[in-house]
Structure 1
Amino acid sequence: MFKTCLVICSAVLLSACSSNPPDPMDFAGQFRDTFSTQIKGDGIKLFTYKAKLATATDRALPNDQPHEQRMSRRKQDLQSYLAEQRNAEKRLELWHQQVDLGLQKTIEMSGYCKGGFVELSRYVETNRAEIRGECNDGATEKDIKKFGR
């Protein structure tokens, strides 16, 4: 049985230095992530962590704003997109770091893989990522009650 946790952050522009670990607040509002768990009959604990950069569509424009404000917002979104393209390489490196940090924090907060995990697969591109893994520790009765089968 899968159980999904969805974390949605609030909006801030991306401004991180690639030589330092990313600060979660640097990415607030920039992505959405999910964490799905599966406990097999023999106690093997699996997970899938997915992250996606928020697009202008994800940050829907309120319809109650005057036309001029909506047009200004669309222009800002376009300018942000063009700036992102110019800094694509740096942004991809930061995105990799954020995905790793997001997974680490999600596992810590959920308490799912107490003994660490083995990464089974990793797929990261410029606007989305998916990491599948298997916990080093087996499922306890408490895990089964908390995360299901």
Structure 2
Amino acid sequence: MVIQKCFALITLATLLGGCASFGGSSAEESATFTTRITEDGTKLFDYIVYPSPKLTNAYQLEEKGWKAPWNHINHLIYTMLDNKVAMTGYCRDGFIELSSNFSEELYQVRGECYEAATAEDRTYFTAS
């Protein structure tokens, strides 16, 4: 029992250390936010995060059955996405998640804004 608790504590420390590597500019450099506005004004986006080696290790531990409390990796990705959407002003009224893919290679969330594109949106946001 003591060995399991020690292992869990070491694993949690590794996970949190890996998530800490997402802070600052390294997180922004490893994430892409691509926008697309359709002809009918639908505003779509694709948010992809390429995990650091430490976060990849944490993902592998989760795949082997160890679960981080409150699913820290997913929470971190969605927090980063919310911050990106707020910072860019792309989805002013919020968004709905259309799909997600969380794998060892990448974390991807596709979404659609609640509001339709304005003329300013069409000028400012272009697919990259």
Q: Considering the TM-score relative to the shorter chain, is it more than 0.5?
A: yes
Unaligned runs of 5+ in 2: 1-13
Q: Does 1:146 align with 2:124?
A: yes
* 1:93 corresponding residue in structure 2: 71
* 2:103 corresponding residue in structure 1: 125
* 2:22 corresponding residue in structure 1: 27
Asked which structure has the greater CA Rg, the reply is: 1
Aligned ranges 1:50-89 → 2 under 5 Å:
50-55=48-53, 84=58, 89=67
Report the more deviating stretch, 32-41 or 126-135.
126-135
The Cα offsets for residues 114-149 of structure 1, whole Å up to 9 and x where unpaired, read as 111111101113452111111110000111111037
Quickly say closer, same or farther: Cα 1:96–1:126, change in 2 above 3 A: farther
Q: CA deviation at 1:52?
A: 1.5
Quickly say closer, same or farther: Cα 1:92–1:26, change in 2 above 3 A: farther
Q: CA deviation at 1:93?
A: 2.0
The Cα offsets for residues 9-50 of structure 1, whole Å up to 9 and x where unpaired, read as xxxx8637xxxxxxx866324671110000011111000000
* 1:41 corresponding residue in structure 2: 39
- TM-score, length basis structure 2: 0.67
What is the root-mean-square deviation of aligned Cα atoms in Å? 3.1
Q: Does 1:112 align with 2:86?
A: no
* 2:7 corresponding residue in structure 1: none
In the alignment, the residues of structure 1 paired with residue 121 and residue 89 of structure 2 have an alpha-carbon distance, to the nearest angstrom, of 9
